[in-house]
């Protein structure tokens, strides 16, 4: 197995590009490097400088590679199509500029679904024309990324979006040709959505080209689901803990990845409060834990 490890700006609390509480972008790069990672994800487009020369020089100075970029936009909302297109083209251009090969598509949080996130039996699902039109938008962006930019485009299920639960992810994979859409498995979002990420990987390993490593604190998860806590508040309350401290069996996942000789990037995403003061120590801990699995 040739597994390269990166981290992501969301591990420093960066969820929106223009949040005034975000840390400085160069601090994220410095601490990512200090923690031992050799890659960093793009984060929300606009957080890092979009001038290729500025970001390129900053990455090179720290010997970091760009791992991937996420198009985190409301694919479920037909009125937001221009926003989706804008996010896709800006993200894909940045990836190509910096030699990254993976674009990740996420249906962003919907206010309605945030109220029932983590509870598949309660969440309203898109059906009929609403579902098919969202699939058309996913298909269009996947083809733009694949055919116009030469990228591998991967689907990512995400809490509180309309592609969250296992059946929604699999229905999307069935709707879009695998030539244009692969799979990014996020271990934490799988667990929060109520299914086992390792079993999901074993089922879809041939289509899985990229992973997000995330762990969930089972006690916090149980409480925020029971108390119907808003997803962003759940993050601030510690839903996603350090890797190896929660319920994800990363040892079993590594074994499954080794058996098929996985080759590519996996990116740590420990989503947290942007005002948290522990991001560097958490990144160091996560890097050390993952390396211990690789050499054990």
**Mutual orientation of helices 81-97 and 52-61 as an angle, nearest 10°?**
50
Domain holding 170, by residue range, is: 2-295
Question: What is the pLDDT averaged over residues 144-160?
Answer: 98
What pLDDT, on the 0 to 100 scale, is given for residue 295? Answer: 63
Six-digit token pair at 57? Answer: 């020089």
* pLDDT exceeds 60 at position 190: yes
Share of the chain above pLDDT 90, in %: 94
Average pLDDT over residues 265-276: 92
pLDDT tens digits, one per residue of 118-135? 999 999 999 999 999 999
Band of pLDDT at residue 296, cut at 50, 70 and 90:
low
pTM (2 decimals)?
Answer: 0.97
Domain total in the chain: 1
Express each pLDDT in 211-225 by its tens digit. Answer: 999 999 999 999 999
Query: Which residue, 59, 65, 70, 64, is CA-closest to 92?
Result: 70
CATH at 227: 3.20.20.150
| Residue 109 and residue 142 in contact, taking contact as beta carbons nearer than 8 Å | no
Q: 260 by DSSP, 3-state: which?
A: coil
Out of 112-116, 190-194, 249-253, least confident range? 112-116
Q: What percent of the chain is predicted at pLDDT more than 70?
A: 99
């Amino acid at each position: 197995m040739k597994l390269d490890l990166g981290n992501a700006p969301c591990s420093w609390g960066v969820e929106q590009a223009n949040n005034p509480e975000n840390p400085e972008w160069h601090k994220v790069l410095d601490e990512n490097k200090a923690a031992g990672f050799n890659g960093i994800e793009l984060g929300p487009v606009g957080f890092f400088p979009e001038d290729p020369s500025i970001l390129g020089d900053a990455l090179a100075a720290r010997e970091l590679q760009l791992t991937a970029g996420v198009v985190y936009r409301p694919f479920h909302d037909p009125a937001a199509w221009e926003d989706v297109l804008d996010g896709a083209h800006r993200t894909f251009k940045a990836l190509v500029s910096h030699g990254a090969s993976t674009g990740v598509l996420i249906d962003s949080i919907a206010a309605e679904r945030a109220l029932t996130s983590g509870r598949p039996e309660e969440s309203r699902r898109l059906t009929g024309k609403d579902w098919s039109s969202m699939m058309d938008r996913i298909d269009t962006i996947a083809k733009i990324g694949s055919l116009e930019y030469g990228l591998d485009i991967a689907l990512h299920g995400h809490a509180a979006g309309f592609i969250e639960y296992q059946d929604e992810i699999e229905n999307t994979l069935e709707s879009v040709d695998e030539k244009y859409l692969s799979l990014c498995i996020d271990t934490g979002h799988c667990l929060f959505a109520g299914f086992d990420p390792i079993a999901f990987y074993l089922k879809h390993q041939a289509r899985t080209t990229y992973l997000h490593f995330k762990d969930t604190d089972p006690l916090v998860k149980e409480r925020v689901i029971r108390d119907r806590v808003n997803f962003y508040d759940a993050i601030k309350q510690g839903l996603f803990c350090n890797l190896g401290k929660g319920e994800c069996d990363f040892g079993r996942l590594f074994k499954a990845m080794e058996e098929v000789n996985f080759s590519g990037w996996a990116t740590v995403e420990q989503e947290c409060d942007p005002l948290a003061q522990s991001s560097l120590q958490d990144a160091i801990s996560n890097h050390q834990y993952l390396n211990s699995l690789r050499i054990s």
